[in-house]
Chain A
């Protein structure tokens, strides 16, 4: 697991002050992890309001329990686990409300990688087009660096499920971005949209 946006080194002195209830230390920790926690929740849930809730509840729980943090693992990993639990809790609630939204048709995942050329806006849009669970698995795998067995464990699914979600999601992203790129290149389409 490397390269997670949460992977921020926190000085022991800051954690000690936070453990003693120093409000300024809490604020520094909040500022350090505000973006990683909110981004994780927003990318997985796709809803700014729910992402705000996750950020709020994550930080509140972390600060209430910080005295229990033993320092055996990095602080960022501890905090990320709380943020992920909060996000997954809402993911389960939403999945119950919207039913099974993870069925994607089989699409051959081959050819060029359009995300290499795509701009950030197009990539964010295509990510948002994925079913919520597929998007979550893609994010946990590619950005947070979780392995398939770890994702399967987090979601209460099989390793095979995690692998197929990554493959199908990748294929869907490829398809969406290819279409988007072709639209950008097509003068007729651009004129009609203007």
Chain B
């Protein structure tokens, strides 16, 4: 604590007084909320840990529609990533030189593939945005988008490939959930079924 300032016309504080202030402040009682937050946290965590059980409560048409949507997206993604000739391959290699470590190369290849898949899904989602969604689905969409935002923050902060790869996988899973949700809402609306009648919409997606 010898680095306290001389500027701004301040006198140099007494180091003993500074130490005693630290001691006095540390001596203040630690506090806690009037009511425990644990029950709320526990509920949130349990909800995120049990996606499979809630998915089972979807009505059959919704599940079928979601499956069809994912199948369609899968075809779309494969078509978009089909070989485009020697130039395209050459450019890819030029921008992504292969690292010497085979494991790192494999991780980089997987990340590139996931990044492309992510772009395709985002393109589809952009086109399908807010099409005849129920209020409940909009809320679920919003939650998924928040989670994607959280993953993006972690991706930005993450430097090592070991961290990046699972994050990209998580991002794809969330995008697929969002795509399924949007497709289901649009499909049901097209068939004259109200989304509000479905027991629950995916607040069920988090891994």
Contact = CB atoms under 8 A, between A and B. Distances in A.
Contacts of B37: 30, 34, 52, 55-56, 59
A3 interface: yes
A112 B5 CA distance: 19
A102 interface: no
A185 interface: no
B29 A170 contact: no
Interface in B1-47: 3-5, 7-11, 13-14, 16-18, 20-22, 24-34, 36-38, 40-42, 44-46
Nearest to A107: B10
A23 B41 CA distance: 10
A163 B21 contact: no
B28 A120 contact: yes
Interface string B135-155: 000000000000000100010
Given A109-B11, A113-B16, A166-B4, A60 B41 contact: yes
A138 interface: yes
**B interface, size bucket:** 35 or more
Contact of B42 (A3, A27, A160): A27
Interface string A118-147: 101001100100000000001100110000
Given A168-B10, A170-B18, A171-B10, 20 more contacts: A5-B30, A21-B49, A27-B38, A31-B38, A35-B31, A51-B33, A56-B37, A56-B41, A63-B41, A63-B45, A64-B48, A110-B13, A113-B14, A120-B27, A120-B29, A142-B25, A160-B5, A164-B8, A167-B5, A170-B21
16 contacts: A26-B41, A35-B31, A38-B32, A39-B32, A48-B34, A56-B37, A60-B45, A63-B41, A108-B11, A115-B25, A116-B20, A139-B25, A142-B18, A142-B21, A163-B3, A164-B5
